Structure 1
């Protein structure tokens, strides 16, 4: 790539460790931007930086620049989303953060209880009880709050600030003031009236410092845990790629790393082995399981001249494939890249918080210094000036701001769990208010995801039950999804299925065997279907799959199969329409089957025959029209579209990759939970925004009061606690969100995949 046709510009992905807020992001971007020809975009949520740099710049120079700014930096190699060492480091850091949070919480609860008891019941006070408060508080404000102090110190070294600066200053100020009170003033002072209620420790307010530390640590922990899941999507997708491939050169087989495969090479694929690259079949025939790419339950029959896709698996046949697209050009690699690009997008709400915070912190510090200087000039002396200055820092300490998002998210996820909804993060919640389009996959989402026999038609003079029993006998030797459906239908009908002999699989045609001494063939209908032609035509027009049963090569009957629509699907779609959303059916299945499902569900917009990258293109096209898109799917083939959509929703019976790529997972098999998800997400986002405005507005309005000396540090701590209490109370209202669903949906019952899909 070049700039103005003159400079060779390269790109590298860096992992950045140690960032906590927008100030950190801005610092890394500014430091890298000072290097000649370097442009950097840093994402806090994914802890990544995309850096464009001229060819003459060494990557080590970029890494060194980031490290000098006080952050860890490592290069991410192309195609590698997260190294094992990095994942281990993340897990270790998360455990340490959880330990600090747990210790802080264990000490803060008795600290607050003791302070309250000593205030409300003076007779319970014992000598030096304040020192017990100090003993409980010091581990919290020193050890548990150490990450905030360390970051604040690093910021100070580099002449910058962050939200951790205010947290650290608030904790240190509250602790220092309290220790000063104990050292120089009469700690036996008893407060009365509202002063005692607002600050139970009397002249001490160490519980304020401990409370700030505990609350902010909790918010930081839940944020870090949510961010940790980002790399799992990429690892799940990467598991679909082959590591080695059998190369054919002049008839000789050679196992080579898949990275050495080139376009035009011929390679061998055995039954059950993943196809290593996109290509065309040169020899052989097989039924290829394409569910990883199309999501459809029926394997595709392929032979010479047919195209195959990397990541799919042939069954019952040996293929020789000529590679056409290899490496990063395969459909699977492009899918991985699409998911990766979608995941590096920043949360809109987080961008707002970051922007405000980057200005808020230095402004608060300046105001605290001005307050101190102003009162000194007014002749108040150091004792009179320090109080208002500390009050400014404490009232501005972002405890409520830190709670605004995580408390609402925790309540929403708890409520979601009751309804059968798993919300991964607030990226899912902040887009649904504007969502106006819901794109739905067909198989496994609107339908049950497994083939089912819907009808059987026998030729004149043929017993339908005998026909079905013999067909099931032949299909007992096949692993095909259609074979499993026929066997299951015969079993459910209580038929006695005879033994099959001389079984032969017919790739692309079906299967043949001897039943009761008669040759039976089950497979594609012959050209001449006689009296059954009209029934077959009607079934195919309505999207059914038709299987013919021939006795001694004469058509004896036909069996119609379909992937049935879930009973809850039409109701869910109707509710979505009533909520003002436009439903769109987007599937890789045949047009006839797609339109049949759409009619049953009440969907007018249908896109059929869409492969994974086609689904992404369609989602992007809708977004280009100004629409906010929610994508609902269950398969690997839906993963890229789920990530590309503004909101990705996966049904819980789907593949692991789809579940990881989505923002929301529905663990119910009842699709009526989908409109409940939309309602819950809208309510949660409204609550988060209300919390944020309150947290900023409350503190901002209180700062002038503190500067005027009308809010001493004790009341400042109480005011901050009230702000946090109101934020938490507002979040708790989400426990009643989507209350209509309690009676409609009942209790949660997670689908059992092993039982549900034991056959086919």
Structure 2
């Protein structure tokens, strides 16, 4: 499917947008066509083999509107905005029309109403003898206003002819009726003076409606002015992002620094950045270091330290040092441009709740015109005269407001997605923004989401008072430098982080399944598991409690010894992110059920769940089973949010009602998700959920007031209170009310700009109860070969840590027909049940290929 944006010109209200959408959606091959009336952009998703952009443009043109494809085809053109934006031009145009209309309307209103409230009228226009001159003057003052506001008539009558009436049609018909009635009265007055029928003159002297015509046009223009100003503010988020890109860049070409336009930058160009400059394209730092302000892209207010090898993002600000970087992404591929594309697509999509307003808006204008005609006829038949009936009919036309209904949803979504972008939360579409706030269940992947995603040193325990913590870490890291095991890398990084000077070991030997040994200076060091300590005749009796406690917390204890004695333990684990506990606790306080899915064994999963306060933990889940888990939750009536960052999370993210990808996750995960967090900060999930709830609440408020306004306003304008109470709505007041209704909806949507994340006051309870394992009421449906089940026991070599255990478990669980896998690191064995269709040779080969030679014991 192709996806193309078009700029639409000529729309005057949301009824116009609805007409274009309906017509395009009727074309065979168009999957969806959605207009954002606020930005005047159309997003069409279509089958390129059946539909062309030319056909789309021709269809829109036939309706009386203009369509222009956006140059890059993706809705955003990363160029410096012109000095006068589109919205500013519209504001200036409407303001000028309003000012010049007022110049003619104010004296007209004075002539029409002045004598009624005792204001002096010029002698040549005052009194009954001069009423004809007064009437002619009013008509000539009305004509310039009609000309200035001619767009209402051009668009309104054109829409009527095409049988797609809009708001302009209501205004055009109402004011035309008012003006023409005034002209008829003018002729009646002339007739009265010609035939000296002063009774006729007195009867119609105050029946002129010229002032109603101009005041209605002025008030609606005033409403358009406020609405256009407000609409301009809703697009500020995108305008701010576009404004981040500098016009020029300094690059090295043939050894010389030159300044070129940003469009001329090529991939692999060397770009030079100095303090205070904005970064023009994405790239990787080649030389130098600095702190970079990425706040307008990620929402993170603290500058990020960058050094050689780190990536920089277009639009961010270099704060301190100078550096050179290699351009890796330019033009449409830059991070900033993709953010703008996502925000624009989200703002151009419809939330499910918008369908209510769309369905009503489709029939709104024809129904209102029918009500107006019926009202006119009823009052005529009741004998209240042409003037009264016309006044009431016009009031019905001009008080009705399809725009209030049509603006209710898109303006709120536009401001909500813009506010999210400011905080580093990118919503890909309107439905995600709506559904997120309705969801009652959230499922977290563990590795890289709740945890950092890489092993690190968590504990250092000493059993020899003669050495320090730094001594143990330094000596161990010196030997671990020669190992390629992930645990060794974590220990070396911990030592370097503390600026410890590591020595080169004189001897090194790797002992598969046990650990390592070697000589550092005069120390003959051994580091590994309990079996290695026993082999080296080093007693482990004193450390039994510590060893079990660390294992219970999902950590891998590495025992360190020399000179025949145990010196200490260095524990390594994939550490919990600092904000995981708070994020989970806050989500639970909001009434959301929190689950964790992990491929870890039950012991590790239980420990992680306890640390982050998750009540529902499911362990030993293979990647393809995660989406099945999500599906089961949905079948139980839950709306599910899935949070992940890896390739193996992509199916689950796609299956969930709303998928959330952590910004530093893989491209596949981000592509599959509906919401992207630019920061690696789980509190932003809370912000996203609360922003969704606030936006949905705002939409409901807008729809409620739009419905109530029309429900009350139309009967009131039709004169329902006239017979019992003598109350009638003047067409001028009706026009003012109509204008204010649209403005109020947009202003209410703008209140979302003040949104702030609210953290509940929850004590950080350390006495967290034990976490149940596999409490989620799900049955994983895997296809298994039928047959007799047998218990098998195998010896597995070269396992040295919990990471090895996990790899062995994953390898066996991936084989069809194997269940109940239990791995013993201490015994170097694995037990499982298998059907008779499972070949032992296949199992042994799979384990050996994974790096763990195996043999059958029973």
C-alpha change, 1:202 and 1:478, in structure 2 (3 Å) is farther
The 5-angstrom pairing of residues 202-217 of structure 1 reads 203=215, 205-206=217-218, 208-209=220-221, 211-212=223-224, 215=227
1:453 to partner: Cα distance: 0.3
**Quick check: 408-417 or 374-383, which moved more?**
374-383
C-alpha change, 1:141 and 1:567, in structure 2 (3 Å) is farther
C-alpha change, 1:110 and 1:620, in structure 2 (3 Å) is farther
- In structure 2, what is the equivalent of residue 572 of structure 1? 583
- In structure 2, what is the equivalent of residue 719 of structure 1? 737
Are 2:95 and 2:225, in contact at CA under 8 Å, matched by a contact in 1? Answer: no
Alpha-carbon deviations, 1:239-272, whole Å to 9, x = none?
Answer: xxxxxxxxxxxxxxxxxxxxxxxxxxxxxxxxxx
1:439 to partner: Cα distance: 1.4
Are 2:702 and 2:748, in contact at CA under 8 Å, matched by a contact in 1? Answer: yes
- In structure 1, what is the equivalent of residue 491 of structure 2? 486
Q: 1:104 aligns with which of 74, 80, 90?
A: 90
Flag structure 2 segments of 5+ consecutive residues without an equivalent. Answer: 9-15, 36-41, 63-68, 111-136, 187-210, 242-345, 723-727, 764-858
SS in 2 for 1:497: coil
SS in 2 for 1:564: strand
- In structure 2, what is the equivalent of residue 434 of structure 1? 438
Are 1:424 and 1:663, in contact at CA under 8 Å, matched by a contact in 2? Answer: yes
Alpha-carbon deviations, 1:342-382, whole Å to 9, x = none?
Answer: 99996321222222222324323444565677788899999
1:511 to partner: Cα distance: 9.3
Q: 2:553 aligns with which of 528, 542, 547?
A: 542
1:561 to partner: Cα distance: 1.5
1:400 to partner: Cα distance: 2.2
The 5-angstrom pairing of residues 339-354 of structure 1 reads 347-354=351-358
C-alpha change, 1:600 and 1:682, in structure 2 (3 Å) is same
1:596 to partner: Cα distance: 1.4
- In structure 2, what is the equivalent of residue 331 of structure 1? none
SS in 2 for 1:348: coil
Partners of 1:62 and 1:112 lie apart in 2 by 40
Are 2:442 and 2:643, in contact at CA under 8 Å, matched by a contact in 1? Answer: yes
Are 1:175 and 1:206, in contact at CA under 8 Å, matched by a contact in 2? Answer: no
Are 1:679 and 1:737, in contact at CA under 8 Å, matched by a contact in 2? Answer: no
SS in 2 for 1:626: coil
The 5-angstrom pairing of residues 178-217 of structure 1 reads 203=215, 205-206=217-218, 208-209=220-221, 211-212=223-224, 215=227
Partners of 1:183 and 1:48 lie apart in 2 by 47
C-alpha change, 1:406 and 1:65, in structure 2 (3 Å) is closer
C-alpha change, 1:14 and 1:576, in structure 2 (3 Å) is closer
1:562 to partner: Cα distance: 1.7
Are 1:590 and 1:609, in contact at CA under 8 Å, matched by a contact in 2? Answer: yes
Partners of 1:14 and 1:425 lie apart in 2 by 14
| Number of corresponding residues | 570
The 5-angstrom pairing of residues 176-575 of structure 1 reads 203=215, 205-206=217-218, 208-209=220-221, 211-212=223-224, 215=227, 347-368=351-372, 391-409=395-413, 412=416, 426-456=430-460, 465-473=470-478, 482=487, 485-499=490-504, 516=521, 528-530=532-534, 531=539, 534=544, 539-545=550-556, 559-575=570-586
Partners of 1:612 and 1:136 lie apart in 2 by 69
C-alpha change, 1:363 and 1:617, in structure 2 (3 Å) is farther
Partners of 1:168 and 1:527 lie apart in 2 by 86
SS in 1 for 2:434: helix
| Greater Rg over alpha carbons, structure | 2
1:455 to partner: Cα distance: 2.2
1:141 to partner: Cα distance: 8.0
Partners of 1:477 and 1:177 lie apart in 2 by 92
C-alpha change, 1:203 and 1:139, in structure 2 (3 Å) is closer
SS in 2 for 1:563: strand
Q: 2:34 aligns with which of 22, 44, 48?
A: 44
1:689 to partner: Cα distance: 0.9
Are 1:43 and 1:344, in contact at CA under 8 Å, matched by a contact in 2? Answer: no
Are 1:137 and 1:206, in contact at CA under 8 Å, matched by a contact in 2? Answer: no
SS in 1 for 2:576: coil
Partners of 1:667 and 1:14 lie apart in 2 by 24
Partners of 1:654 and 1:156 lie apart in 2 by 53
Are 1:111 and 1:207, in contact at CA under 8 Å, matched by a contact in 2? Answer: no
Partners of 1:222 and 1:612 lie apart in 2 by 41
C-alpha change, 1:181 and 1:360, in structure 2 (3 Å) is closer
Partners of 1:552 and 1:650 lie apart in 2 by 50
C-alpha change, 1:520 and 1:734, in structure 2 (3 Å) is same
- In structure 1, what is the equivalent of residue 772 of structure 2? none
Partners of 1:200 and 1:495 lie apart in 2 by 86
Partners of 2:555 and 2:592 lie apart in 1 by 29
Of structures 1 and 2, the one with the larger relative CO (CA 8 A, separation 6+) is 1
Alpha-carbon deviations, 1:78-120, whole Å to 9, x = none?
Answer: xxxxx99763566499989x94323123444676689899979
**Quick check: 486-495 or 543-552, which moved more?**
543-552
Alpha-carbon deviations, 1:494-550, whole Å to 9, x = none?
Answer: 53222468999999999999854989898x758544345956665444322455779
The 5-angstrom pairing of residues 688-707 of structure 1 reads 688-707=699-718
Partners of 2:409 and 2:398 lie apart in 1 by 20
Partners of 1:489 and 1:507 lie apart in 2 by 23
Partners of 2:422 and 2:21 lie apart in 1 by 37
SS in 2 for 1:87: coil
- In structure 2, what is the equivalent of residue 620 of structure 1? 631
Alpha-carbon deviations, 1:206-253, whole Å to 9, x = none?
Answer: 452364377379759969999xx9xxxxxxxxxxxxxxxxxxxxxxxx
1:585 to partner: Cα distance: 0.9
When the two chains are superposed, the root-mean-square deviation of aligned CA atoms in Å is: 6.2
- In structure 2, what is the equivalent of residue 684 of structure 1? 695
- In structure 1, what is the equivalent of residue 328 of structure 2? none
1:584 to partner: Cα distance: 0.5
Partners of 1:41 and 1:418 lie apart in 2 by 31
1:384 to partner: Cα distance: 7.8
Partners of 2:146 and 2:488 lie apart in 1 by 68
Q: 1:633 aligns with which of 644, 648, 651?
A: 644
1:695 to partner: Cα distance: 0.8
Are 2:347 and 2:414, in contact at CA under 8 Å, matched by a contact in 1? Answer: no
Alpha-carbon deviations, 1:379-431, whole Å to 9, x = none?
Answer: 99999877655544443333322432344446656776898766666434432
TM-score, normalising length: structure 2: 0.51
- In structure 2, what is the equivalent of residue 169 of structure 1? 169
Are 2:4 and 2:75, in contact at CA under 8 Å, matched by a contact in 1? Answer: no
- In structure 2, what is the equivalent of residue 8 of structure 1? none
TM-score, normalising length: structure 1: 0.57
C-alpha change, 1:101 and 1:382, in structure 2 (3 Å) is farther
SS in 2 for 1:704: helix
C-alpha change, 1:116 and 1:457, in structure 2 (3 Å) is farther
Are 1:178 and 1:204, in contact at CA under 8 Å, matched by a contact in 2? Answer: no
Are 2:347 and 2:413, in contact at CA under 8 Å, matched by a contact in 1? Answer: no
Partners of 1:207 and 1:505 lie apart in 2 by 85
